[in-house]
Amino acid sequence: MPLILTDAQAALLRAEKKYLTDLYATLSELNRAPEDLSALRDAIVRLEELFLIVVVGEFNAGKSALVNGLLGAPVLQEGAIPTTTRVTLVKYGDALRETVSPDDLAQIAYPLDLLREINIVDTPGTNAVIRQHEELTREFIPRSDLVLFVTSADRPFTESERQFMEHIREWNKKIVLVVNKRDLLEDDKAFRDVHEFVSANATQLLGVTPELFFVSAKRETRDQHLSGGMAELSAYIRTWLDERARLRVKFNTPLGVADQVLKRAEGAAQQERAQLAQDIETAEHVERETTAYEKEIHGELEPRIAEVDNLMYKLEARGNDFFDQNIRLVKIMDLARGDKFRAMFEQQVLAGVPQEIDQRTRAVVDWLVEKDLREWQNIVTYLQRRRVPSDALVGELTTTFDMRRQALLKSVTEAAQNVVSTYDAEKESREIGNHVETAVLQTGLVEAGAIGLGAIIASTVTVAALDVTGILLVGTLAVFGLFVIPYKRKQAKDKFKEKIHDLRARLGSVLRAQFNAEADRTITRMKEGVAPYVRFIHSEKQRLADADAKLDAARRGLQTLQLQVNQTFE
């Protein structure tokens, strides 16, 4: 900066540089848009550069003639057709010299004392044919300290100019409106109409009434002497160029860039928070569904396994009835033959029991498989409603957050869809049934099953070892009927009850363990399916909280600096 600063101003300059540098680091860490970081980086560099005036407007509005008039020298080419074909930076030099940089920026050096204090940027039309030139023009706006917005009296405030002014407004720049070619307005009424039209539209767009000058740049510039509106405009600009005003603008310009960049970062963070709130609800919904499913599946499992238990109770009742009917004195000959008694027992008591157990077990398997599939279908349906259609994302996925959340949500949804689309209920049922069958076999229940149980009961009640000839004696027969038969009946019932209870306990235990394990496997698969998405949401929640804290601190720091600038240059 060419002027000597006071100690207070120098300290403020250092504080502002540090703030802007820290803000750049913060926003880089937060992965802000490259164009925002570029604008902030330029603001840091421009803090020590000359005062910069940027002249914008449609082609052939007379921008070059206006610049020449303000400089008091024919620095820029003028003509009836568009003469400024690229962005041109006018700066001080010992001799007239023009160069063009690789990015198509023209620089004109000219030996004019005024250019020791300011630089002026002349731009192509706001609707420039070469897109790159319009982009260059846009890039200069954040760096400007003052914008001269030139429109022509014969076509004032066109749509392209209005759109470009919206872009300037975003950066909170000081805008001065200049209506050139006033001499084309035939009378006072035409002047008033244009004045009212331009002023009203600019005020509506900017929210404030800008400074407005009517000039005839060519006519009012004669032999380095300005008259009329050109003289007024020049006086206004030179007032802005006095030392204190210029320093105030110079200090405020980078802070204006910082303010705009911060607003964009805050807006993006707000959008991400809103999106994250929906994602949190999605994750919590899936977690609630999984928890409810887990509770429901275990709650409904017990009554279904109890149906197998009921078979054991019915078997016990049927056995007791068999003993009451068959362990009697009149059946003494059957009791004497263990093989016949066992065959009767197996036919009348045990017949069909393994098939019934298998049938009830298969019913539980089918129920579990159906519940599993239905839950996956519910998850898919919900996730599909939460997914953003791919065509709606075109041009919107601008942040890492957007891309990561969409990728994870898509991955979770597709994983759930894949489970549903490839779900083979018959295969699942068969596999679970095999697991249960294997588990039952491993407990040794077969040995205590129908065949084993029949043999045990037969050996308990048989009287084949008794002296048959002795039994035929009337006295012995009476004793056997009175004492041995009831004893054998009770012994058979007790033995049968003991074995049935053992069988029921072991069968129930293995079925509960196996079915609970199968239910837990399904629940685990569901939880693991959405786990990456849930982890991402929790990490993003913390990241956004940290980002909010950093942006809040940056906003407070900016407000402090803005207050210090105002106080320093009161």
The tens digit of pLDDT for each residue in 464-504 reads 433 333 333 333 334 444 456 676 677 777 777 777 777 77
Q: Side chain identity at 369, as an amino acid letter?
A: V
Supply the mean pLDDT for the chain.
Answer: 76
How far apart are the C-alpha atoms of 283 and 182, rounded to whole Å? 65
| Tokens 């004045």 found at | 195
**Partners of 91 in beta bridges:** 109
Report yes or no: 309 and 508 within 8 Å, Cβ to Cβ.
yes
Position 132 scores a pLDDT of 59
The tens digit of pLDDT for each residue in 393-406 reads 333 334 555 555 56
pTM of the model as a whole: 0.54
> With bands split at pLDDT 50, 70 and 90, how would you rate the model's confidence at 436?
low
How far apart are the C-alpha atoms of 34 and 54, rounded to whole Å? 23
Query: Greater confidence, 137 or 392?
Result: 137
How far apart are the C-alpha atoms of 547 and 3, rounded to whole Å? 38
According to the per-residue pLDDT averaged within each range, which of 199-213, 321-335, 514-528 is highest? 199-213
Mean pLDDT of the region 331-338: 56
Position 393 scores a pLDDT of 32
- CA triple 119-240-135, angle to 5 deg: 40
Query: Greater confidence, 492 or 61?
Result: 61
According to the per-residue pLDDT averaged within each range, which of 39-48, 174-183, 339-348 is highest? 174-183
Domains of the chain and CATH, by start: 50-241 (3.40.50.300), 278-535 (no CATH)
Q: Work out the burial of residue 417: count CB atoms within 10 Å of its CB; fewer than 13 is exposed, 13-18 middle, 19 or more buried.
A: middle
For the ranges 241-250, 449-458, 490-499, the lowest mean pLDDT is seen at: 449-458
The tens digit of pLDDT for each residue in 198-222 reads 999 999 988 888 899 999 988 888 7
Position 480 scores a pLDDT of 42
According to the per-residue pLDDT averaged within each range, which of 245-254, 417-426, 431-440 is highest? 245-254
For the ranges 16-25, 245-254, 380-389, 422-431, the lowest mean pLDDT is seen at: 422-431
The tens digit of pLDDT for each residue in 25-40 reads 999 988 888 888 888 8
Share of the chain above pLDDT 90, in %: 13
Mean pLDDT of the region 412-426: 56
How far apart are the C-alpha atoms of 379 and 399, rounded to whole Å? 27
Position 478 scores a pLDDT of 43
Q: What is the 3-state secondary structure (H, E, C) of 176-241?
A: EEEEECHHHCCCHHHHHHHHHHHHHHHHHHHCCCCEEEECCCCCCEECCEECHHHHHHHHHHHHHC
> With bands split at pLDDT 50, 70 and 90, how would you rate the model's confidence at 505?
confident
Report yes or no: 237 and 147 within 8 Å, Cβ to Cβ.
no
Angle between helical axes of 34-46 and 7-29 (0-180°, round to 10): 160
Q: Does pLDDT of 552 surpass 90?
A: yes
If phi > 0 it is left, if psi is from -120 to 50 it is alpha, else beta; for residue 561 that is alpha
Position 81 scores a pLDDT of 45
Position 484 scores a pLDDT of 60
Position 569 scores a pLDDT of 83
Position 364 scores a pLDDT of 78
Position 239 scores a pLDDT of 79
Q: Does pLDDT of 333 surpass 60?
A: no
* 3 state SS of 396: coil
Q: Does pLDDT of 334 surpass 90?
A: no
Report yes or no: 232 and 213 within 8 Å, Cβ to Cβ.
yes
* 3 state SS of 6: coil
Position 212 scores a pLDDT of 94
Mean pLDDT of the region 41-50: 78
Position 441 scores a pLDDT of 53
Q: Which tokens sit at 564?
A: 């210090």
Distance of alpha carbon 142 from its chain centroid, rounded?
31
Q: Which helix (H) or strand (E) holds 499?
A: helix 485-568
> With bands split at pLDDT 50, 70 and 90, how would you rate the model's confidence at 279?
confident
Neighbours of 18 (CB within 10 A): 12
Q: Does pLDDT of 95 surpass 70?
A: yes
Position 433 scores a pLDDT of 52
State residue 55 phi and psi, 5-degree precision: -105, 120
* 3 state SS of 99: strand
Q: Does pLDDT of 358 surpass 50?
A: yes
* 3 state SS of 479: helix
How would DSSP label each residue in 48-115? TS-EEEEEEESTTSSHHHHHHHHHTS--S---SS----S-EEEEE-SS-EEEE-TTS-EEEEE--GGG
Q: Does pLDDT of 445 surpass 90?
A: no
The DSSP 8-state label assigned to residue 106 in this structure reads: E
The tens digit of pLDDT for each residue in 531-548 reads 777 787 888 888 889 999
Q: Does pLDDT of 461 surpass 80?
A: no
Position 328 scores a pLDDT of 63
For the ranges 64-68, 111-115, 185-189, 550-554, the lowest mean pLDDT is seen at: 111-115
For the ranges 118-132, 284-298, 349-363, 551-565, the lowest mean pLDDT is seen at: 118-132
The DSSP 8-state label assigned to residue 394 in this structure reads: T
Position 452 scores a pLDDT of 52
